Amino acid sequence: MPRSEPAGREAATPRPDLEGVVVPLVTPLDERRRVCKGSVARLVSGLRPYVSAFMPTLSTGEGWHLTLSQWADMVRATVANADGAPVLAGVELGRAGPVLERARLAAELGADAVVVPPPFPRGAGCPGLLAHYRQVTAGSELPVVVYHENAVSGTPLDAGALAAVCALPGVIGVKESSGSGEFTAELLAHRPGVPVLQGWEQLITSVPGVAGFVGPLANLHPGVCRRALDSFAEADQRAVDALCGQYHLFDEDWYRHVKLELARRGTISTPLTVR
């Protein structure tokens, strides 16, 4: 179904197609905990043949803890090395005003879209969810990918409410990180009208109909993720599950383990985290 443009947005603004493996990049740091541009270049160029888009500065990129300069440097470095692939900048902020400020900066840095979680701290509920995204989409010059989660926001899982968010002009996709295959299937049954990307490795093959996958394993084994997404086969899911166990991707500090492996491979210069 054609989607109208919000007031003030150019109708010709290109919108990235969201499908396949989208990688939520770690944020490589040097010894002074500045973004290491060389590491970003190696990481992005190595992933480029296997992924359809890059998603820096989200939770795997320690987005909640990045300083403004770290955030901007990471987005800038990703854009510089993306080789034409869309860059979807994560904005881990809980209120619409700061989100819109960051979205303006993302546009200046050359990002193609912003990825925005529900409002937090907790307590907004489903009406607050729709109001939040209505304000964000109305004010952002970049398209918006909804980062659907409830661990931080505490927003109840409600497929109808999320489908209403998807119908807002300016929303171009959903990173569906509820952790529930049943919820993902319910959302798809609502025909949200935008691509739904599975946000958990253990669910890649569980819900036919998703357009793609976004998860930290894509930093390390994007080809394995792509095979599971293409096949929806149990054997490929078992391969994904084994790798998740090997790299501790369901630990609270999963991004630390991803960085340790990338540093061991020589892809990034240090395994340092932001905190």
Residue of 215, 182, 214 lying closest to 196 (CA atoms): 214
Distances (CA, A) of 59 to 238, 239, 269: 25, 24, 20
Pull the structure tokens for residue 12. Answer: 């010709």
CA 63/CA 96 separation, integer angstroms: 16
Place of tokens 């989208």: 22
Binding residue positions: 60, 214
Q: Residue 210 and residue 205: Cα distance in Å, rounded?
A: 9
**Alpha carbon distance 162, 42 (integer Å):** 36
50 catalytic residue (yes or no): no
CB atoms closer than 10 angstroms to residue 84:
5
Marked catalytic residue, from 133, 175, 247, 259: 175
Token pair 């300069």 is at which residue? Answer: 69
Bridge partners (DSSP) of residue 147 are: 175
Q: Kindly report the CA angle at 222 between 216 and 228, in degrees rounded to 5?
A: 100
Query: Helical H runs in the chain?
Result: 37-47, 68-81, 96-109, 125-139, 159-166, 181-189, 222-231, 234-246, 254-265
The span from the CA of 190 to the CA of 157, in Å, is 14
Annotation: binding site for pyruvate: 60, 214
Q: Which residues are catalytic?
A: 147, 175
